[in-house]
Chain A
Amino acid sequence: MMRRAGFLISVGLILVSALGPLVLSQDPTALGPVELGLQAPTWSHPCGTDVHGRDVLLRLVHGGRVSLLVGWLSVVVAVTLGATVGLAAGLGPRWLDRPLMYLTDAFLAFPRIFLVLLLVSLISPSLWLVMVVLGLTGWMGVARLVRAETLSLRERDFVHAARGLGLTARQVAVRHVLPNLLPTILVAAALRIGGTILTESFLSFLGLGAQAPTISWGAMIQEGRDHLLDGWWLTVFPGLAIALTVVGYNLLADDLRRRMDPRADEEAGS
């Protein structure tokens, strides 16, 4: 049951945020009547309403899109970048290994949140920027993992054979090493989605993520911050939504790891 939970939660959330906004056709940004403002959860509004009389559940369903989009896309960027660096360091010419690993360590040595805050707030805050920045600052773990794995694969017979047949380094990397790395990469990616969603929600909370008409869970928590007692549902439900999503992806990553590579030890995440 627990094993399936990760898969069920992550697929369920994707379905809800993909289809939800189509099924619930109301506009989540349209202001409601004044007397509907800041109402506690009832049957017609299961998660209550915000100060502007908008249904919190409706906004939650729309806000999920931002979290999932940022989580997935920036992890794809990070993993692609990390795998490329790791492969290049492990299989490329010898002189390339040291500078690449130095660069990786340099990025690792710095608190990521500082770098992300600097980049996002100094350029103009937007959803796409957050995605790119989270991708560009999240590849180091994957690079180290892929390099380590590549170094051990490099000495296997099938790789020697492929080289002996006269394949170029790139062909060896793409056709023979990369497929064997896929389980490692998949697990690493799943592990990172949760952490990335957490970072995105913090940026949105600070007002650095998706901007006003776009709804995000972090920004919803920020809006509810002034109503901790008289409007607890404004902060509680978006936080639970983030937690559910992240728990789902972390369970999924654990499950994937158990299925694909029972020996693998975990790397520290973001």
Chain B
Amino acid sequence: MIPWLLRRVLSALLLVCLLMTAVFFIVRLAPGDPLDQVVGNELTDADRDLMRRKFQLDEPLSRQFLSWAGGVLTGDLGESLGRQQPVAAIIGEVLPPTLLLTVSAYVLQLLLAVAAVGVMVRWRGRAPEHWVQGVGLVFYSLPAFWLGLMAIMLMSRWLGWFPAAGLHATDYPFMSGPDRALDLLRHMFLPVTTLALGTFMGTARYLRAGVEEALGQDYILAARSRGLGRGRILGHALRNALLPIITLVGLHLPFLLGGAVVTEVVFGWPGMGRVTVEAIWARDYPLIMGTTLVAALTVVAGSLLADLLYRWADPRVRPERGMSGS
């Protein structure tokens, strides 16, 4: 177990190193000068030289890379070109909203998937199954950014039920505790629902396969022969099928993070995804590298967690075989 874990961690870290090296050079070799985008053209040549020296943009690429990597090892992610703020501080600010968004959306889509599978299995071959399948397929096929825009159009511009963008209302600092919680929930509702609606059918498909398999097992036959009701039996099967899916939460991370980029852009959600998109536009090298590194670390840690949880939930998976990937 321990050597396996060690090997797994080392290979994950190697993966992150390779990825970051690749991203570093892709970003630097791409055309565009960060100083043009960052501060406009009012800069004098002397100022530019000063900035270049400060951010080491005048040094050879290999040197820049080594100094960046050295910084990371000592916990220093550098300073953002555009915001004149340490990258670590920016990430510390935008990571919590993204986690809030993705974790809530993950839980909601799991609940939706369980409900959908419950209906599909309970009314197999009849109208409710087809309806759930149809609705799920449509949500699965909608562009997430468009679904978000439609939600904004209907629920906030037209009906005025929910705010259209952001994390807090402008008078948030003056609110009392319960009002703050309510305000946050109101801001979360549309982005979280949009993200969950777009993803639940993918989970439901896996879950359904698991439930169908579980329903064929002996313990279900035993439960049935003891005269348990349909609902209870379905509950047993669902619980057993759900465990492996939850343990795979780590493997969902890339998709959730990807979906969060879209959702954050549409809803003006101050999270990692939106900051990354803005940093790419501004050629803010240190910030791009910082958010990419955090995303890569999160995803790699997630897949490691998935392996560990899966082993814990299903001891039949043997250590030397090592499950990997989707």
Contacts and interface: CB of A to CB of B under 8 A. Distances in A.
Question: A and B, one complex?
Answer: yes
B261 interface: yes
A86 B325 CA distance: 15
B254 A194 contact: no
Interface string A79-97: 0000000000000000000
B145 interface: yes
Contacts of B255: 111, 268
Interface in A189-231: 194, 198, 201-202, 205-206, 218, 221, 225, 228-229
23 contacts: A102-B11, A108-B326, A109-B299, A109-B300, A111-B253, A111-B261, A111-B295, A113-B258, A122-B280, A123-B30, A141-B326, A144-B326, A198-B144, A228-B152, A229-B158, A235-B146, A236-B150, A239-B143, A239-B149, A247-B138, A265-B209, A267-B326, A268-B326
A221 B15 contact: no
A236 B15 CA distance: 42
B277 interface: yes
Nearest to A117: B280
A7 interface: no
B261 A124 contact: no
B19 A106 contact: yes
A205 B261 CA distance: 13
B142 interface: yes
Given A106-B15, A228-B157, A251-B137, A202 B144 contact: yes
Interface in B258-289: 258, 261-262, 265, 276-277, 280-281, 283, 288
B26 A118 contact: yes
B280 A105 contact: no
Interface in A158-211: 194, 198, 201-202, 205-206
A246 B139 CA distance: 10
Interface in B24-44: 26-27, 30-32
Interface residues of A, number: 47
Which 8 residue pairs across A and B have the least CB separation, nearest first? A122-B30, A239-B146, A246-B141, A113-B258, A111-B258, A228-B153, A111-B257, A247-B141
A232 B276 CA distance: 30
Interface in B118-168: 137-138, 140-147, 149-150, 152-153, 157-158
B288 A118 contact: yes
B292 A114 contact: yes
Given A235-B149, A243-B141, 8 more contacts: A105-B325, A109-B296, A111-B261, A119-B26, A221-B145, A229-B158, A232-B153, A268-B202
B26 A122 contact: yes
A245 to B, nearest CB: 8
Given A110-B295, A123-B30, A105 B141 contact: no
Contacts of A150: none
Given A198-B143, A235-B146, A250 B280 contact: no
Q: B18, B30, B143, B265 — which one has the most chain A CB atoms within 10 A of its CB?
A: B143
B205 interface: yes
Contacts of B18: 106
Interface of A: 102, 104-106, 108-114, 117-119, 121-124, 141, 144, 194, 198, 201-202, 205-206, 218, 221, 225, 228-229, 232, 235-236, 238-239, 242-243, 246-247, 250-251, 265-269
A243 B143 contact: yes
A58 B232 CA distance: 55
A232 to B, nearest CB: 6
Interface string B296-326: 1001100100000000000000000000111
A194 B142 CA distance: 10
Nearest to A228: B153
A110 B138 contact: no
B57 interface: no
A251 B158 CA distance: 33
Given A106-B19, A250-B141, A114 B27 contact: no
A141 B255 CA distance: 14
Given A118-B23, A242-B146, A229 B276 contact: no
Contacts of B283: 122
Contact of B303 (A104, A109, A243, A246): A109
Contacts of A246: 141-143
A84 to B, nearest CB: 18
A121 B280 contact: yes
B326 A109 contact: no
A5 B276 CA distance: 39
A180 to B, nearest CB: 23
Contact of B153 (A235, A250, A251): A235
A225 B142 CA distance: 17
Contacts of B142: 239, 242-243, 246
B288 A250 contact: no
A106 B281 CA distance: 25
Nearest to A200: B143
A114 B149 contact: no
B157 A113 contact: no
Contact of B262 (A202, A236, A242, A268): A202
A254 to B, nearest CB: 8
Contacts of B258: 111-114
